[in-house]
Each structure stands twice: as C-alpha cells, then as structure tokens.
Structure 1
C-alpha cells in the first residue's frame, strides 16, 4: 500500500500536525508513505520522518495547472494508491483524480467550527465529494454532518492523536517555574484568546505569581492586534507572553504546570491531546468533542465558552490545589492512552484504507 498525505501547508496547525503524524506513523506500517505540502512549507517540515518521501508543490493559486500536472506525474511515477487529502486540499486531489481515475481519494475533514456547520460553504466540496471513496471526520458532529450531506460517501469518525515531538528544545518560557499556564493555539478568533486574557486578569488577583504563555502562529492581523491591545489595556504585558509559532512543543509543555484551551469552537483539538500526553492538568471550554477528553472532576475542568468568570474560577481552583492537578493529569494521560493512542488510530485508519482498495 502506497499512501500520500496531501496538506496545504506545514505551519504548526492542527490539521497540519495530523497530516505529518499520519505520514510518519504510516512509514513503518505500509509499503511507502508520502507527504505533499501544496502551497507553503513551515516549521513542521523539520518533524517529517526521513522514511517519508516528501514533495513540495509551491502552488501559487487556487487553480494552478502546473501544480496539478506535477502532482499527477508524481502520483503516477510513485504508483500511489491513495491520496489522503486533509482539509481544503480535497480540491487539488479531485483534479488529479479526474486525470488519473486509478487513484483513490480519502478526505479528512478537520473543520474546527463545529458549532457553526450550518454556515459552512459547501458548493465546491459537494461537487468534489462525488470522487471521494471515503471521508474521515475528526469529531462526531462532523461525522453526522458529512453522513447527511454526502450520502454516497461512507464516513468514519477517527479521533486525532498526539505523538512525542523530538525537536531540539529552543524555547525558554518567561515566569516562575511551577507557575506557568500554557495556551497552545494559533492566534485565530476561533481560539478566543481575548476571553482567556480577561479571565487571567481575575486570576492574578488570587494567584499573582502565575504567568500565561500564548504559543501559536501570529498572523499579525486585526485579531492579533486586538490581543495585544487588550494586554496593554489590562496592564498584563508582564504576566502574559506571546511567542509565535514554535516547533519544540514538547519542551514548552514540560516547562508548564497547567494547560488551557479557551476556544469558542473546536473539533477535537490536538493541543488537549498533547497536554494530556505529557501529563499537564487541563482547563478547557466545552466545545466540539473536548468533552470526550475532559470530564469534570475526573480528567480536568470543563467550562462554558466565552465565560471569563467560569474560566478564571477553574484556573484558580487548579492553581491552588496541587493534588487536584496531579490527579487530573494522571487520569487524562490514562484516558488518552486507552482511547486516543497512536496504535488505536492507525488500526482504524488502515482498516479504512483496506476497505477503500478492496
């Protein structure tokens, strides 16, 4: 079996991490694993296994015929059986399929705004779905949505998973050891950094020695500007730190004592899996499939989204109770090992591939 993971970029986002993790994990499980970044490279390029064959297309526009022809020739020359297209890369995969009917398309839906699926544009996706052999959803809401929208395409829920990151440690976090809160998310409005920052203003009244660390790509856009202006207005620039995109997430998590996710909308976030894999206690908003990972009083604290008071209260509770942090982190780690492990996911994924080719 020869499978190509197709992804738009290698920036440090959730879908991109999954594409790289799947390509790396397949390398020892199938005949040959491939990975293609279509539009842009990024920090995740360094994490691609040497056993994975890598291609960068440098696609310049939505319909780029040179990129289509190059990918087509690559698929044919490498005898690739399956194009596993992540997120919006389904369009390029479909164009290749139209010219090379032998190849099979598996589409992996990472759509993060699961609470707003009625507003999702689907016209092009609906047309391209006719050429999908199977679709994969990262949460149950997306699975239900796809089953209703694309009735001729079998759909499976396959959870995200996290793996150890062996990148060389480079990032040194500010603040006091043992009193750092980590928010691992790109600076997008969906991640709702603003509510988190406002909540942290309340947190500092009870726990003044703690600091908050925002790690994720800074797009230097209007939302990024609003984050920075909020920090300045609330006089939090000595307590909340922005680092941008970093590749050494393992090293960053190891320097942290508490993980937080404040999203207004989610699928099944990689950040929560990474927190749990490395033994961080977690506070998360109750969006998407977060409740599959975080259960109040067992594996962490789950709070309503866009509620700064509830978020602050949960953070303070864990900051002031080390035993509770230890209990939650232990339980979350065990839960992930059982239900969201690499072995569990690849067993399901390989089963899907085999069905597609049979």
Structure 2
C-alpha cells in the first residue's frame, strides 16, 4: 500500500513554547491517511516531543552549533535525500535559509511560516534579515504569516507577492482550555483562592520582557494599597532569563507574592487559577498562550504589538498598553483588580471570541488545504525524489 506524502517540519528547537504547541497539535490532528510527518530540529528537542501522539513521527536533532555552521546545510541535504519529503515546512527566520538546501535536494513543495519576531528585530526592519527573506522568495512556494500584521509586513516590507502570502490564524483547543470553576487546584500550586492572580505563560526570554511585568506588578501594589495583600503574580515558563528574573523578584522583596514555577505540563489547569492574563512582549505574532487564556475565560492585559490588536478587542475582551511601559501596564491591571465583575464579563467575551474565530480545527484545515493545493500543482502521485548515488 502506497504511503501518504511526507512533510518535514524544520524548526530551530522543539521545546515548550507556542510555536511548538501549534506544530505538535497540527501533526496530531491532521488525518493520518493524508500526510506523514517528521520534525527536524536544527539544535535539539526536549521531553516536549512526548506530546506527539501520532504514531510514526520521527524527530531528528541536527545539534547545530552557534554561528553559521555550513556543515548543517550538507547534513540536512543528505537527510532530505534520504527522507524524500513531498513538502518542507520551515518556521521563522532561524530556519528560512535552509529553503535553498531543500530546493537543491529536490523537495517539490517548500513552505515557510512566520510566527513572530525576536527581541533583536521586534518591528521586522532589519535590512540584512529582510534581504535574506527577499532573496529566498523565488525558492519558497508559500509564506504563511499567522497574523494580519505579519502578512502586511511580508507584503510591504519584504516584498512577498500576494499569491505567495497566505494568512492562517493560530488555533487553540477550546475543549481543553475552558472555564471550570469547580476544577481542582493543580498539583503543587499555592492556595491562592482568595487572591487576585495575574498570570502569564511563555518562554522566559528577552522578547517577552517579563522584567517590565514585574515592575508593573510592584507599581500595582502601590496603586492599590488596600488590595496589595491579596495580589499575586505567576510567571509560568522556562528560559535563559529565569534566574535573572528570580533575583529581580527577590531584590524587590516580592518572593512571597510572585511565583516562577518553571515549565509545567498542566497549563490548562494552571490557566484556571488566574484572574487575568498579562503579556508584556515587545514583539509577537498571534501568541498561542493568549488564545489559551482567552479560551479559559480570562480577560487580557497586553502590549499592543504584532497581531495582538487584531486579537484583543479593547474594552471588550481586554486592555492594550504600549510596550516597555510598566506604569501603563500597572494601570490597566488595576482596572481589573478593582473591578472583578468587569474582569469576569470581559473574560466571558474573550472565550466567545476565540470559540468563534480561533478553533484548532479551523487552523488544521487551513494547513491541510494549503498542502493539498501546493502538492496538486507541483507534484504527481508517482513523482519522487531520486536518492543520490552513494
């Protein structure tokens, strides 16, 4: 029996994060008789790979060292010739250069997704990076931005033609992420039932600017001195800046009211312990954790960056503030901490919005339709890449 075509997903790392969650969910939910999948990590993968429930998905780490590492191109070339995928799907700037390798290896269909930008180029204006993207446009069959902001940037700044610029919104599992006031407290979680809990989830790195969130929380306690004893902040996630953030919390005398528990596997349960979701990022696409929070019935207080203004309805599902402005962030958080009923109303509207516009099935269907369309135009059922002679 002929096997379905293979899609190779090329990403920098497979670890706990929004992009990785979407990738794994897409693989788990896509019909098994339509496509097979393999994940190639330029650097490494962690226990997060265990979230792949689809049988037969190979996960490969290339262990790329820092820097250019031209030997990785050769390693990937040989791997692609062995695997003979019908489609290569790369993710973000760190993987885009390998589209040329895929072209030389004879991969018929080449897709590149832009899920957001990093702290080094939050507005996407880096000329060197954009030149690289522009030079690779002829080698890429379709760019997939996950927000209207990214789509417009690809069109107007990078120069991706409309025919190659396909917006597919991120999705969330609205069955797993939902309000449940009767749910038990997660294992190891503090007993904060009588507190107002501000929560955030995400990798602890520069682009998330958690330092501003800690500063905003300290200012919030001064803004609402009567409520200060019951205010709490939880920053859930792992990353290179976690120890630095913990020192900042300790130096501010906030150890008793700020929690940094690291990565957790029970995010849906943790979300139900929050009263508001906060995001202090300086750059974003459409953050998955924000979708998860809104599906959980939480109002959002966030910086107005990337695709977030398209997701958060100001004054209806949340409040938006400028990036790197702890005072504005504190004032917005105070708005909900002092009006609990309003927070619940906006949380209910957030759940309704995600349920109607950002379901996981719609996202998977979007990628499936894209793969089908490109495969029909660039491959035939009997076409395969001939392996290299050894």
Q: Structure 2-normalised TM-score?
A: 0.81
What does residue 348 of structure 1 align with? 366
Listed as ranges, the matches of 1:1-358 within 5 Å are: 1-28=5-32, 30-51=34-55, 53-61=57-65, 62-63=69-70, 64=72, 67-76=75-84, 80-87=85-92, 88-100=94-106, 102-113=107-118, 115-119=122-126, 121-148=129-156, 149-151=158-160, 154-163=164-173, 172-174=188-190, 176-177=192-193, 179=195, 180-205=197-222, 206=224, 207=227, 208-220=229-241, 224=242, 226-357=244-375, 358=377
Query: What RMSD, in angstroms, separates the aligned Cα atoms of the two structures?
Result: 2.6
Contact kept in structure 2, 1:104 and 1:356, CA below 8 Å: yes
Q: 1:201 to 1:344 in 2, by over 3 A?
A: same
Contact kept in structure 1, 2:186 and 2:266, CA below 8 Å: yes
Runs (4 or more) in structure 1 with deviation over 4 Å come to: none
The SS at the match of 1:235 is: coil
Q: 1:35 to 1:294 in 2, by over 3 A?
A: same
Q: Which moved more, 1:120-129 or 1:206-215?
A: 120-129
CA distance in 1, matches of 2:136, 2:252: 47
Q: Structure 1-normalised TM-score?
A: 0.87
**1:34 Cα deviation from its structure 2 partner:** 3.3
Contact kept in structure 2, 1:35 and 1:52, CA below 8 Å: no
**Which structure has the greater CA radius of gyration?**
2
Contact kept in structure 2, 1:300 and 1:328, CA below 8 Å: yes
Contact kept in structure 2, 1:14 and 1:269, CA below 8 Å: yes
**1:356 Cα deviation from its structure 2 partner:** 1.5
Contact kept in structure 2, 1:4 and 1:36, CA below 8 Å: yes
Q: 1:191 to 1:175 in 2, by over 3 A?
A: farther
The SS at the match of 1:256 is: coil
The SS at the match of 2:245 is: helix
**1:241 Cα deviation from its structure 2 partner:** 1.5
Q: 1:43 to 1:315 in 2, by over 3 A?
A: farther
Contact kept in structure 2, 1:27 and 1:33, CA below 8 Å: no
**1:151 Cα deviation from its structure 2 partner:** 3.8
Output one character per residue of 1:272-298: Cα deviation in whole Å (capped at 9) or x when no partner.
Answer: 101012222221121111122211221
Q: Name the count of aligned residue pairs.
A: 349
Q: 1:201 to 1:75 in 2, by over 3 A?
A: same
**1:112 Cα deviation from its structure 2 partner:** 2.5
**1:13 Cα deviation from its structure 2 partner:** 2.1
Q: Which moved more, 1:269-278 or 1:347-356?
A: 347-356
Contact kept in structure 1, 2:45 and 2:61, CA below 8 Å: no
The SS at the match of 1:127 is: helix
Q: More relative contact order in 1 or in 2 (CA 8 Å, sep 6+)?
A: 2
